[in-house]
Amino acid sequence: MLTFVGLGLYDEKDITLKGLEAVKSAEAVYFEVYTSKLGGCTAAKLEEAFGRELYPAKREDIENDPEEILKRAASEDIVLLTGGDPMTATTHVDLRLRAYDRGIATRIIHAPSIFTAVSGITGLSSYRFGKAATISYPYRDDFKSISDVPYDTIRLNRSNGLHTLLLLDISSRAYMTIPQALTILEALETRRGEGVLDDLIFVGIARAGSSEGKVKAGMIETLRAFDFGDPLHVLIAVGDLHFMEEEALVKFAGLETGIF
C-alpha cells in the first residue's frame, strides 16, 4: 500500500495523529521535498520527532521515475510525506493514478493546507476565492521572461468579484518574499498596461500555522513597507468584499478603514 500523508502548514507538530500512526507503522517513509516546504522544520527535525529515517523524494523520483516507490508499495506499507495536504499538488495525483494502474492500494491522510488556512487567517470567505496561481521567478535574469499567468488569473477573478490566492515560488536557491512578488506583479502591469492592479487590496501572510505568523492587508506600497519576516510567504489579491470580510480584514489583518 502507498499512503500519502500530509504534514500540514509549518512544523513537525502539524501532522495528524492518524498520519503519525501511519509513519510509525510503515516499512519505509519517503519525504517529498520539492512541491512545498515546511517553514519551521527540516527533514532532520522530522526524523527526530517521528523516530524514523526519511528517504528524500525529489521531483524526478515522483514525476519521471517513481519505480522505486511503486515497486516497494506493491508488497510493503510505504508512506510518502508531503507538505500541506497531499493532493493539492497534481504530481501526487499522477503518482496515485500510476499506483492504481498497477493494482497498488492507496490511501490519503489529510492535513491543513494553505488553500484552506488563508480563509481562517484573514476572515475572507472560502466561497469567494477563484482560481489560484503561482508567482514564479523569471525564467532568465530579467523581467521580460516573467509568466503572465498570475496577472491573467487576478484579472479573471477580479472580473467575477473573486479573491485570488497567489502562491510564491520556491526554488533551490531561495523562497520568494512578498515584496519580490509585488515587484513582479508591478512589472507585469507595466508590460500589460491593463490596470488590473489599480486600487487593488492585497493581503500578505507569513509563516501560516506558526504562533509567530504575520498577516497584513493594504495596497501594494503598504505591504512593501511591512516587515513580514522569514518565509514562507503567500499573497492574496482581494476581490469584492462582503461587509463581514471588510470587518475581518480591519480587525485581523490591520487594514485601514479609510481604504474602502
- 58 and 169 within one domain: no
- 91 and 52 within one domain: yes
CB-CB neighbours of 126 under 10 Å: 11
pLDDT at residue 59, as a whole number: 75
The DSSP code sequence of 127-141 is: GGB---EEEPPPSSS
Cα separation of 198 and 100, whole Å? 47
CATH number at residue 142: 3.30.950.10
In contact, 116 and 209? CB cutoff 8 Å: no
Domain range enclosing 128? 114-259
- 247 and 120 within one domain: yes
pLDDT at residue 260, as a whole number: 60
pLDDT at residue 252, as a whole number: 97
The residue out of 109, 142, 172 marking a domain boundary is 109
pLDDT tens for each residue of 103-143? 999 999 999 999 999 999 999 999 999 999 999 988 776 67
- 75 and 134 within one domain: no
- 21 and 126 within one domain: no
- 12 and 39 within one domain: yes
Q: What is the mean pLDDT of the chain?
A: 92
- Tell me what percent of the residues of the chain surpass a pLDDT of 90: 79
- 137 and 81 within one domain: no
**Tally of domains in the chain:** 2
- 251 and 137 within one domain: yes
Low-confidence ranges of the chain (pLDDT < 70): 35, 141-142, 172, 258-260
User: DSSP state, 242?
Assistant: -
- 48 and 174 within one domain: no
- 231 and 123 within one domain: yes
Q: What is the CA radius of gyration of the chain?
A: 20
CATH number at residue 66: 3.40.1010.10
pLDDT at residue 7, as a whole number: 94
- 246 and 127 within one domain: yes
The residue out of 60, 78, 109 marking a domain boundary is 109
